[in-house]
Amino acid sequence: MEHDRSNTQILGHFIDGKHVADNERTQPVFDPATGLSNKRVSLASATTVEQAIASAQAAFPAWRNTPPLKRARVMSKLKSLLEANAEKICALITAEHGKVTADAMGELTRGIENVEFASYAPQLLKGEHSKNVGPAIDSWSEFQALGVAAGITPFNFPVMVSLWMWPMAVVCGNTFVLKPSERTPSSTLFLAELALEAGLPPGVLNVVNGDKEAVDTLLSDSRVKAVSFVGSTSIAEYIYATGCSHGKRVQALGGAKNFAVVMPDADINNAVSALMGAAYGSCGERCMAIPLVVAIGDEAADAVVAGLKEGIAKMKVGPGNDDRNDMGPLVTKPHFEKVKAFVDAGVAAGAKLVVDGRGVKVDGHEGGYYLGACLFDDVKPGMSIYQEEIFGPVLGVIRAKTLTEAMAMIDAHEYGNGTCLFTRDGEAARFFSDNIQVGMVGINVPLPVPVAYHSFGGWKRSLFGDLHAYGPDSVRFYTKRKTITQRWPSAGVREGAVFSFPTNR
């Protein structure tokens, strides 16, 4: 359902420091709390994307030669602007994604931490130097910018994930073309305006909204040297294969199915509280959400299920801009239908639906995409709710006898993004964290998302590429190492020709 198009705002692109219209193809942007739309977003043509790439290419030489300290000062100014405009940014996130305002603020805060990390560029970009590696020979390495980089971001974290990418890329001396999700474009366009206000020269950051045509243009254009992506595994695999086939450096973060393990000795009350937020926060639309809990022993399982059932009964579901609510709507009607179908499939497969959120209605928001928290018990391997990424407020409890059995389940799954263990046993915690085949591990921490000065990334089919996102790995991803070896012979010293490979004997 949409409003009259005569009153509809059309969101374009941000190229070379200016808003650019490209309205041949548009699609509605919905408020998931109401199911209504008063915005449309332009879907960039290949020509428009090429215009953005050309702008970034033209801006690269001057920006590459801008001292890192000056680039870092832009990041410091941007951090201040993000903090000053936090309320507006969070309102834009909530209006298009649906997450509650407090969660939007958490997203923004984690993004700001990455901008703060980028402001340390002069330190991060320092190379290595060795004097007298041979007679009168010095050698050093330095990190040089790649050129034009591109980022493709998901709907669920339109601010945080974009701030994972372009601040670090541009502070390393690159220029950037960002393609946000067409479902949540407004906050990203506003970030580009703030970057310009912070002192980022026109063309260093460009934003194009679009669909597969825009993505394929970025992947095939030879001027784009690196591509970062966050989204589903099927698309991540496509991005990685296509980008690599065109000679690009690619990091593509894909899907997840994160398990939490609850040991019999765990503090059950604390574990339940942590699981409530990890499973149902942001309506479960997080790649680090916990959709599966493996409880060791029936006593622990019964206690976890009872605690979760009690917690869900206290939850408030409604529009994200109401601070009294714990969970907002799902992002779109098709996604709502997809998640609901997973619940139906879980029931059909024989899992026990302890809490059914399919009938939730929110007064005054009957057109919104609301699904209440759902809780399954007796989930088994092979069920779709066990195997597939649901990306919704659906939590399943699996009953196991031992930690070894639980770890075997986790290791056998195709995804390896995040996992956590609830226990008081240090030996179990050490064994779990040391041996589990997952990229990010929490011990009594349900969402082990690394802070900005570490790096984020999963294993197996949760990540395609060798380098993780943000943190130290981002410096490696957005730069190429050059090693220089030089000698200045002393005056009057002349050497004869040497035909053997040089050594330092």
Q: Give the Cα-Cα-Cα angle 326, 331, 334 (nearest 5 degrees).
A: 130
How does DSSP classify residue 327? B
* DSSP 3-state of 418: strand
C-alpha 227/C-alpha 238 separation (Å) is 12
Tokens 């020269």 correspond to 201
- Bridge-based pairing of strands 459-460 and 26-31 is unpaired
Q: Give the Cα-Cα-Cα angle 422, 428, 430 (nearest 5 degrees).
A: 100
Contacts of residue 411, Cβ cutoff 8 Å, sequence gap at least 6: 436, 437
Burial class (CB in 10 A: 0-12, 13-18, 19+), 435: exposed
Residue 287 a catalytic site member: yes
| Token pair for 453 | 């000065």
C-alpha 78/C-alpha 72 separation (Å) is 10
CB 237 within 8 A of CB 252: yes
CB 12 within 8 A of CB 20: yes
Which has the closest alpha carbon to 185: 270, 101, 308, 97?
97
Q: Of 172, 283, 287, 420, which residue is the catalytic one?
A: 287
CB 194 within 8 A of CB 78: yes
Which has the closest alpha carbon to 175: 317, 56, 50, 318?
56
Tokens 């779709």 correspond to 384
| Token pair for 232 | 């589903």
| Token pair for 270 | 């604390």
Query: What Rg do the C-alpha atoms of the chain give, in angstroms?
Result: 25
Q: Which amino acid is at 212?
A: K
Residues tagged active-site: 287
